Amino acid sequence: MLRIPCPWCGPRDEPEFRWGGEVPVLRPGPPEAVCAAAWAEYLFMRENPKGWVRERWVHACGCRQWFVVIRNTVTHEIRATAPLGEPLPEIGP
């Protein structure tokens, strides 16, 4: 069970949070201008890397705020978290 440092509430156990997938995922639009491939890319295609990944989580049983987490999918290490739109360290190799 992960221990996730919420930028607003501090470190809490994983069951308080909900996972929201990789970021950034840009929502294309307007709909008429989006080709099928681009829409499929947006809906389904993710990097799913082995190693460091940038993803968003929400503190569902706490402050209900979404924020960004840098997590390693192999070791589950969490390097940093930050509110949406605030700078985070670049994820290296």
Partner 1 sequence: MSRHAHRLERGGRIDRSRPLDFEFDGRRYEGFAGDTLASALLANGVRIVGRSLKLHRPRGLIGAWSEEPNAIVQLGEGETTVPDLKATQVELTEGLVARSVNCWPSARADVFAFLGIFAPLMPAGFYYKTFKWPSWRWFEPAIRRAAGLGVAPTRPDPDRYEERHEHCDVLVVGGGPAGLAAALAATRAGVRVVLVDDRPVLGGALQWEEKLIDSRPALEWVAEAERELRAASHTRVLTRTSAFGCYDHRLVALSERVAPQSRLPIRERLWHVRAAQVVLATGAIERPLVFPENDVPGIMLASAAMSYAAQYAVRPGTRTALLTSTDFAYQAAKALQARGIEIAAVVDTRADPGEVAADARRAGFAVLAGYGPRRVHGARAVRALEVARLAGGAPAHTEQSPLRIECDLVCVSGGWTPTVHLFSQARGALRYDAQRAALVPAAGPKGLQCAGAAAGNFALRECLTDGFAAGRQAAKAAGARADAGVAPMAQPERCAVAPFWSAPHADRRKAWVDLQNDVTRADLALAVRENLRSVEHLKRYTTTGMALDQGKTSNMNALGILAELTQVPIPEIGTTTFRPPYDPVTLGALAGRRIGALYHPLRRTPLERQHAALGAVFEDFGAWRRPAWYAAAGRGRQECIRAEKRAARGAVSVFDGSPLGKIEVRGEDAALFLDRMYYNSMRTLAVGRIRYGIMLSEHGVIIDDGVCMRLAEDHFLVSTTGGAAERIFSGFEEWLQCEWPQLRVLVTNVTCAWGNIAVAGPRARELLALLSTDIDLDPGAFPHLAVRCGRLEGVPVRIARVGFTGELSFELNVPAGYTAALWELLLARGASSGVRPIGVEALQELRTEKGYLHVGTDTDGRTLPADIGMGDILARKSEDFVGRRSLMRAEAQRPDRLQFVGLAADDPATLLPVGAHVLADPQTRRGSHGYVTSSCMSEALGRSVALGLVQAGRRRLGEPVEIYCDGRLSSAHIVSPHWYDPKGERLHA
Rounded to whole angstroms, what are the CA distances from 50 to 21, 64, 84, 93?
A: 15, 28, 23, 10
- From the list 68, 72, 66, 70, the residue with the least C-alpha distance to 86 is 68
Question: Considering CB under 8 A, how many residues would be counted as binding partner 1?
Answer: 29
Out of 9, 58, 82, 88, the only residue in the binding site for partner 1 (CB under 8 A) is 58
Which CB sits closer to partner 1, 34 or 80?
34
Distance, in Å, from the CA atom of 64 to the CA atom of 32, rounded to the nearest integer, reads 33
Out of 9, 16, 60, 82, the only residue in the binding site for partner 1 (CB under 8 A) is 60
Q: Is the peptide bond before 24 cis (omega within 30 degrees of 0)?
A: yes
- Contact between 36 and partner 1 per CB under 8 A: yes
Distance, in Å, from the CA atom of 31 to the CA atom of 60, rounded to the nearest integer, reads 30
Out of 65, 80, 82, 88, the only residue in the binding site for partner 1 (CB under 8 A) is 65
**Residues at the contact surface with partner 1, assessed by CB under 8 A:** 1-3, 13, 18, 20, 27-32, 34, 36, 39, 42-43, 56, 58, 60, 64-66, 75-78, 84-85
